[in-house]
Amino acid sequence: MPVAVAFAVVSGLLLLWMFALTRHAWRTLPPGAQIPVHRGLGGWNRWQPKESALVIWAVGGVVVWLATAGTSIYLATGHAAMSKGNAVVLPAALTLPMVALLVSERSALKAARGAGTRAW
């Protein structure tokens, strides 16, 4: 199933994009800046120091990538019986958590930038 492997590669590219965002924020945020790591009903909360927040976002990206890419590759090896339609839909759906995490990290960094004294 080359489609599943393609989606694993796409998820990997999204992970690299997350690392690029993290690196940029690490270099441009001033010392003492804080970044939110959770978005609740009332908006962003659980603000953490820059160092720990960026590590949390990066580790979260790796964990989600391992889960989604691992599942995609598991499907590609033929261990799961699937119809041809599901062979495309399921790996595509597994890429969505990486997209959601990337968008969340970007939004958190924007919130940090707009927090005034809390961040850059």
The band of 16, judged by pLDDT with boundaries at 50, 70 and 90, is very high
Largest separation between any pair of C-alpha atoms in the chain: 54
Find residue 35's DSSP bridge partners. 48
The band of 120, judged by pLDDT with boundaries at 50, 70 and 90, is very low
pTM of the model: 0.77
Measuring CA to CA, how many Å separate 43 from each of 8, 25, 38, 73, 74?
31, 21, 8, 36, 37
∠47-49-50 over CA atoms, to 5°?
A: 110
Average pLDDT of 3-9? 79
Mean pLDDT of the chain: 80
What is the predicted pLDDT for the residue at 3? 74
Q: What does the pLDDT look like over 58-110, one tens digit per residue?
A: 999 899 888 887 777 777 776 666 666 666 677 777 788 889 888 988 988 88
DSSP string, 44-93: EEEEEEHHHHHHHHHHHHHHHHHHHHHHHHHHHTT-S---TTHHHHHHHH
* Distance of alpha carbon 13 from alpha carbon 120, whole angstroms: 27
